[in-house]
Amino acid sequence: MKIAIGCDEAAYRLKVEIMKHLDELDIEYDDFGAGEGDVVLYPDVAEAVAVAVAEGKYQRAILTCGTGIGMCITANKVPGIRAAVCHDVFSTERSRKSNDAQIMCLGERVIGVELAKSLIDVWFKCEFAGGGSAPKVKRINEIDAKYNKR
């Protein structure tokens, strides 16, 4: 699997540590994020990554900013995307198993590097469980399509 990764300047250090971890896991990635010392608007990074995922260029992505919230809000504006803020093990697991989230959003100012690595490990081990969640994700997609026809 090849993923996309992106950050703004508030999460550059976390992105670097995540890339090292992905290298250890032998997960390929393309970096859409800020470079050292770059100042970028996180909505631009989130949009670029979310569009690439929505177009099928990547199955999953990781976005990082100060809290993960802004990246998540922006990514979810792209039709077909389900992004989730992941700051604990349970919500990280459920983002995949229940919601089939393709994009994980992390906040450098909220979690530490070791927790981020642990959450990434959980996120990559989890797959969409279907079952009772399948009709809910289907409905999310229907609502998405309804409002994106405008």
Is the torsion defined by CA of 112, 64, 16, 117 positive or negative? positive
Active site residues: 65
